[in-house]
Amino acid sequence: MAVPREFQSKQRRLIMIVSLSVASLLLLGLTQQPGLPIVPEALTAVKESVQQTFLPKPPRVGLQIGHLNPEEQPDELASLRINTGGYAFGINEVDVNKTTAYMLKDMLEFEGVEVDILPATIPPNYHADLVIALHSDSSPDVTRRGYKSAHFRYPRNKWEDELKADIDKSYFFFSGLPDDDENVSGSMLEYYAFNRARYKHAVSRSTPAIIVEMGYISNEKDRAFLSDPVNPAYALKRGILTYLAERGRYTPKE
C-alpha cells in the first residue's frame, strides 16, 4: 500500500528535528569535555582584569611584611611556617621589613592612599591597585650589597612590568644602592604570595605585584641605609606614586 505523501512529509520533518536535537546534545557534551580549553579560568581572568580596570577611589596598596607571623601560614603553605627570614649583626630581617612597611604606610596615607599591612599569609585572592612584598637580604659574603626586585616569572597581568620599572627607577635614584639583579632567585621569580595558580592564599592575578629586596642587612653600607626606615620607605613611596599617577589613580597634591 502506498504511503500518503502528507505522511512522508511529516516523517521527514520529524527525522530532521531529531537529528538536530542529537547534534545539539553532542555539541553540548563536547564543549564540556575536560580536555578542551578551561572556560571558567578564562572567565575568571576577564573578571579580574575588569576589577583592576575599574578600581574604586581612593587607591589602595597592599604592603606585605616579609616573614611576619610565618607560624600562621595555612596548611597549603605549611612548609613556610619555619621561614623566619634572615639575621645578621644582631638584626632580624623581619624587623627591618616591618618598620619600613609602617613608615611607608604613613607616607602613603598622607597622600590619600589607603594601605593594607599584610603578614606572611596573604588573604585569598587579595585585590588592590598594587602589592609590594618587602624583604631585606642577607649573605655570608658581607661585601655583597644592592637592591633587586621581581614580579612573577611570567607577568600575571599587563601592569607588572610597568610597576617594577617605576619602583626600580625610584629606588635606585633615591637610595644610591647598586643593582643586584644578578642575584634574583627562583623563589623571588615564583614567589608564593603571587602564585594564584597554585595557592588559594595569594594575590589576585589582576593585581600587579612585586617582591623587593631592599638591601643587605649583612653589608655595612646597606645596613646603614636600612637602619633608618625613612630611607627605603621614601624611595618606595616615590615609585608607588609615580605608578599610580601613570594609571590615573593618583593626582599629586598642589
Domains of the chain and CATH, by start? 59-246 (3.40.630.40)
Q: Report the C-alpha gap between 1 and 164 in whole angstroms.
A: 84
Q: What is the pLDDT of residue 45?
A: 53
Q: Report the C-alpha gap between 86 and 103 in whole angstroms.
A: 21
Q: What is the pLDDT of residue 24?
A: 46
User: Model's pTM, two decimal places?
Assistant: 0.80
Cβ-based neighbours of 204, under 8 Å, separated by 6 or more: 48, 51, 52, 125, 126, 127, 196
Q: Report the C-alpha gap between 81 and 154 in whole angstroms.
A: 26
Q: What is the pLDDT of residue 56?
A: 74
β partners of residue 203: 126
Low-confidence ranges of the chain (pLDDT < 50): 1-4, 7, 14-15, 18, 20-39, 42
Q: What would you report as the CA-atom Rg of the chain, rounded to the nearest whole angstrom? A: 26
Best CA proximity match to 123, nearest among 51, 74, 56, 187 = 74
DSSP output for 56-84 = PSSPEEEEEETTSSGGG--GGGGGGTT--
Q: What is the pLDDT of residue 16?
A: 56
Q: What is the pLDDT of residue 26?
A: 41
